[in-house]
Amino acid sequence: MDKILDVRNIHKSFDDKAVHRGINFFLEAGETVGLLGPSGSGKSVLLRSLIGLEQIDAGEIHFHSKRIDGLSEVQLYPIRTKISYAFQTGALFDSVSVFENVAYPLFEHTALSETEIEVRVREILRIVNMEDAMDLMPSDLSGGMQKRVGLARSMVLNPEVLLYDEPTAGLDPTNVEMVIEVMDRFKRKGISGIFVTHDIPAAKRICDRILILRDGKIVFSGTVPEFESSADPFIKSFLTNQ
């Protein structure tokens, strides 16, 4: 078993508010894990901690066999090409085209030629069904299309892990479907994922395992069938209320 990410006993507080009180979990190569939990339970802070956008107070984060918590910004630079955070909003640059949005990480992080970059950007845009929109501006796109371009940009550097923070939130059912399809394509390319969501049906479709965060700890970790058949009242309420 190759653990890509191994999170050991992490703690995180903001002032006197404890958000994480000893979080333990791991991510295996190729799997997608759903991270569920009530609003404000610390899911986004956890994803942000994995790539050093938040400093943890205690514990350890290992990427493959390398400890990555506490690294400097410069040391985190290569890590963030391997563990990619798909922002909740898509976070596109408004003043440049779809093509330039997706190409940006390649110009920033690689020595590829312009021709090579164009080939790569076209390939990725094809995966998210946005190749025809390459020359449009973000403002020309629907929310769902922006989300797909954002996902394309998150994976243009061939990351090993994608962190999805509520990628389907606020989308209509058609766009939800397209985003899930994109995530599934990334999964089939062997990219591992952590999928934060309130969308239980989506999580059941795409996740190999489910984690539930509550009161600063992972209170459940299991396969989708284990999740569905849990006798725990909190987990049951999760399944029925969301």
Ligand X SMILES: Nc1ncnc2c1ncn2[C@@H]1O[C@H](COP(=O)(O)OP(=O)(O)O)[C@@H](O)[C@H]1O
The verdict on 42 binding ligand X (CB under 6 A) reads: yes
List the single partner that 14 binds among Mg ion, ligand X, none, CB under 5 to 8 Å by kind. ligand X
Cβ(56)–Cβ(169) below 8 Å: no
Residue whose CB is less far from Mg ion, 156 or 207: 207
For residues 55 to 94, the per-residue mask of contacts with ligand X, x marking binding by CB under 6 A and - elsewhere, is ----------------------------------------
Residue whose CB is less far from ligand X, 14 or 93: 14
The verdict on 197 binding ligand X (CB under 6 A) reads: no
Amino acid letter, residue 39: S
List the single partner that 39 binds among ligand X, Mg ion, none, CB under 5 to 8 Å by kind. ligand X
The verdict on 156 binding ligand X (CB under 6 A) reads: no
Buried b (16+ CB within 10 A) or exposed e, 92-112: beeeebbbbbbbbbbeeeeee
How far is it, in rounded angstroms, from Cα 79 to Cα 68?
8
How far is it, in rounded angstroms, from Cα 164 to Cα 194?
6
Phi and psi based region of residue 105 (left: phi greater than 0; alpha: psi -120 to 50; beta: remaining):
alpha
The verdict on 19 binding ligand X (CB under 6 A) reads: yes
Cβ(86)–Cβ(154) below 8 Å: yes
Work out which of 4, 5, 36, 44 binds ligand X, going by CB under 6 A.
Answer: 44
Residue whose CB is less far from ligand X, 83 or 213: 213
The verdict on 37 binding ligand X (CB under 6 A) reads: yes
Cβ(9)–Cβ(22) below 8 Å: yes
The verdict on 18 binding ligand X (CB under 6 A) reads: no
Contact residues toward ligand X (CB under 6 A) are 14, 19, 37, 39-45
